[in-house]
Amino acid sequence: MKVFFKLKWFFIEKKKEYIIGLIMLTFVAILNLLPPKIIGYIIDEIAAKHLTPASLVKWMTILVLVALFMYLLRFYWRLLIFGSSNYLAKTLREKLFSHFTKLSPSFYQSRRVGDLMAHATNDISAVQQIAGVGILTLFDSIATGGFVILAMAFTIDWRLTLIALIPMPFMALSTSYYGKLLHKRFGVAQAAFSDLNDKTQESISGIKVIKTFGQQKEDIEEFKSLSNSVVEKNMQVAKVDSLFDPTISLIVGISFLLSLAFGAKFIVDGTMTIGDLIAFNTYLGLLVWPMLAFGMLFNILERGSASYDRIEELLGVPMDIQDKPDAIDQQPKGDIRFELENFTFPGEQVSALKHIHFELKRGETLGIVGKTGSGKTTLLKLLMREYEGYDGTIHFGSHKIDAYKKERLKEAFGYVPQDHFLFSTTIFSNIAFINPTVEKEKVERAAKIAHIHEDILRFPDGYETIVGERGVSLSGGQKQRISIARALLLNPELLILDDSLSAVDAKTEEAIITSLKAERQHATTIITSHRLSAIEHADLIIVLHEGTIVEKGTHEELMAKKGKYYEMYQLQQLEKLVEKGGYCDE
Ligand SMILES: Nc1ncnc2c1ncn2[C@@H]1O[C@H](COP(=O)(O)OP(=O)(O)OP(=O)(O)O)[C@@H](O)[C@H]1O
């Protein structure tokens, strides 16, 4: 029942609908009492040979009118109560989705997508049940059941009512026991469903890899085994679920038996009429649903409460990085200054970055090179404030990055990540992602700087060509260049290319870099790369090794130093030479 209290905010919001709906349900419950009473009365009239055709027509008309009125009331309460429960599902879904969009990368690293999807579907529908069927069963088990019992006791016979109610405590005990069992098994079934969801999501996303390695059969087997596990766990739920109805029917049957035996005795004693016994038994029949509802209520509340707790737990996951109360509502502009002593990822022992000190003037280009795992992306993530908790400071313009509102800070970046992502929509919409109504000329201009315009014109529908699963397949280099165009469209204060030229050939790389230099003379650019040709032109180059800067300077300075950069340069020249078959055209 505590879950109703937890959902107080929703019931208050929808109080009008629930109050009107429950008033209608009360009317239905009261009107429900009339037919048995009328039928009992008619039978007694028949037995006493008092029934006239006129009174029969009168009672029949009343019965029909009662039925019609109940029909209308039942339609409207369903509309109000079940309609509101849909609204609860919609509100929770939106809250959850909006919260998901604000959570940090570390949250997504620790949670499985399949799990999150299961929460957003199964758990929400279990909570929705509380506000719909849950309210109905609560009302029916207490009010409808209560009215029927009162009608039996006060309008027919209180002795027989007490006798017929003897088996009831057993029902309360068994439903509560089944409820607990169900809660446990439902949790297990839910976990199995999450695993299956996860597997499906992973298999569909990784279908190319699965096919390439010819692992379809193994994948299908694994899927089958998870699917079987879901069925098996749900069977365990169904077993308990299936015990509910027979148990309740058995208890109701005992009630009928008792009422028939003792009712017959009371008729023989002359303390009860046949009509009364028939009316009593009809009431007892009306009691079956409230009793079933009582059992269902436990079930719905157990499931819904566990689901609501899980949803609340997710909604309670704090956004890792929050704005300060006096955060600056202004987009940062200007020089970038790193004075970072140490950064370690949450839960890790070893530092990912140490002693990172450099300054980049507005409009300059920074090149970051280093072996894989040397900390290039981590440095960028800190600059974009995806992680905090480091020793030192990072300035952007005249303030530290954490002094700005996060939204405003983000606006300053045009970030092209290593693992670029294109949506299954048109090329135009992919580039115009941040501003779908932008003019075509601007999109084309960005595409020209990223040297993808010509490629796009060659596609069947030009900029309207659909990419991804529903459309054309693009090469890695084309995808990278579309991602670059997307970032360029923002005309960002700081453009970040995180190894974003790795899949384009050397000539295209050079052309892109030349256009970027010409277009972005007054804005800052950071390029990380394994290939030195991508950063050779930079105003400042830093060489990272095991999370720390081992060299920094311009290309010429670093070459003159004959250190790590020089070694990398020589090695890459040699590689180029080998690729060309041993001839150097310089
Ligand atoms: N979220 C994380 N949690 C813990 N460790 C991480 C996390 N992200 C990266 N690391 C670790 O930090 C180190 C630096 O990783 P980073 O991605 O910055 O390297 P990189 O230089 O960008 O490599 P690459 O060139 O392969 O992209 C690596 O050892 C990596 O395993």
Residue nearest to atom 19 of ligand 1 (CA): 373
pLDDT digits (tens, 9 = 90+) for 45-81: 888 888 888 889 999 999 999 999 999 999 999 999 9
Ligand 1 binding pocket includes 177 (Cβ within 6 Å): no
C-alpha of residue 350 to centroid of ligand 1, in Å: 12
Residue nearest to atom 31 of ligand 1 (CA): 373
Ligand 1 binding pocket includes 372 (Cβ within 6 Å): yes
Ligand 1 binding pocket includes 348 (Cβ within 6 Å): yes
Quote the pLDDT of residue 263. Answer: 93
pLDDT exceeding 70 applies to what percent of the chain? 98
C-alpha of residue 342 to centroid of ligand 1, in Å: 15
| Locus of tokens 């009343």 | 62
Residue nearest to atom 29 of ligand 1 (CA): 373
Q: Which amino acid is at 19?
A: I
Ligand 1 binding pocket includes 169 (Cβ within 6 Å): no
* pLDDT tier at 583, thresholds 50, 70, 90: low
Ligand 1 binding pocket includes 378 (Cβ within 6 Å): yes
* pLDDT tier at 556, thresholds 50, 70, 90: very high
Local structure of 328: helix, strand or coil: strand
| Locus of tokens 């699965």 | 210
Residue nearest to atom 5 of ligand 1 (CA): 345
C-alpha of residue 392 to centroid of ligand 1, in Å: 20
Question: Ligand 1, closest atom to CA 375?
Answer: 18
Quote the pLDDT of residue 386. Answer: 87
Query: Is the pLDDT assigned to residue 424 strictly greater than 80?
Result: yes
Question: Ligand 1, closest atom to CA 370?
Answer: 21
**Average pLDDT value for residue range 248-252:** 84
Query: Is the pLDDT assigned to residue 523 strictly greater than 50?
Result: yes
| Locus of tokens 């315009």 | 453
Residue nearest to atom 14 of ligand 1 (CA): 375
Ligand 1 binding pocket includes 85 (Cβ within 6 Å): no
Ligand 1 binding pocket includes 349 (Cβ within 6 Å): no
Ligand 1 binding pocket includes 354 (Cβ within 6 Å): no
Residue nearest to atom 7 of ligand 1 (CA): 345
Ligand 1 binding pocket includes 373 (Cβ within 6 Å): yes
Ligand 1 binding pocket includes 529 (Cβ within 6 Å): no
pLDDT digits (tens, 9 = 90+) for 7-33: 999 999 999 999 999 999 999 989 988
Ligand 1 binding pocket includes 418 (Cβ within 6 Å): yes
Quote the pLDDT of residue 323. Answer: 85
C-alpha of residue 337 to centroid of ligand 1, in Å: 22
**Average pLDDT value for residue range 361-381:** 92
Quote the pLDDT of residue 50. Answer: 84
Ligand 1 binding pocket includes 365 (Cβ within 6 Å): no
DSSP H/E element including 260: helix 216-269
374, 535, 548: residue to mutate for ligand 1 pocket, most atoms within 8 A of CB: 374
CA atoms within 13 A on the CB side of 504: 26
Question: Ligand 1, closest atom to CA 379?
Answer: 18
* pLDDT tier at 581, thresholds 50, 70, 90: low
Q: Where are the beta strands (DSSP E) in 462-547?
A: 494-498, 524-529, 540-545
C-alpha of residue 368 to centroid of ligand 1, in Å: 14
Quote the pLDDT of residue 585. Answer: 46
Residue nearest to atom 12 of ligand 1 (CA): 352
Quote the pLDDT of residue 149. Answer: 92
pLDDT digits (tens, 9 = 90+) for 117-167: 878 888 899 999 999 999 998 998 888 889 999 999 999 999 999 999 898
376, 532, 548: residue to mutate for ligand 1 pocket, most atoms within 8 A of CB: 376
**Average pLDDT value for residue range 107-112:** 81
Q: How far apart are CA 548 and CA 543, in angstroms?
A: 8
**Average pLDDT value for residue range 374-380:** 93
Quote the pLDDT of residue 102. Answer: 82
Question: Ligand 1, closest atom to CA 348?
Answer: 4
- Of 507-511, 542-546, 556-560, the range with the lowest mean pLDDT is 507-511
Contact 235, 242 (CB under 8 A): no
- Side by side, which strands form the sheet with 524-529? 399-400, 391-396, 336-343, 353-360, 548-553, 540-545, 365-370, 524-529, 494-498, 413-416
Question: Ligand 1, closest atom to CA 544?
Answer: 21
CB-count exposure of residue 283 (10 Å: 0-12, 13-18, 19+): buried
Query: Is the pLDDT assigned to residue 586 strictly greater than 90?
Result: no
Domains and CATH numbers, the chain: 87-315 (1.20.1560.10), 336-579 (3.40.50.300)
Query: Is the pLDDT assigned to residue 414 strictly greater than 70?
Result: yes
Residue nearest to atom 26 of ligand 1 (CA): 372
Q: How far apart are CA 113 and CA 7, in angstroms?
A: 26
Ligand 1 binding pocket includes 376 (Cβ within 6 Å): yes
Q: Does the interface ipTM go beyond 0.90?
A: yes
C-alpha of residue 277 to centroid of ligand 1, in Å: 80
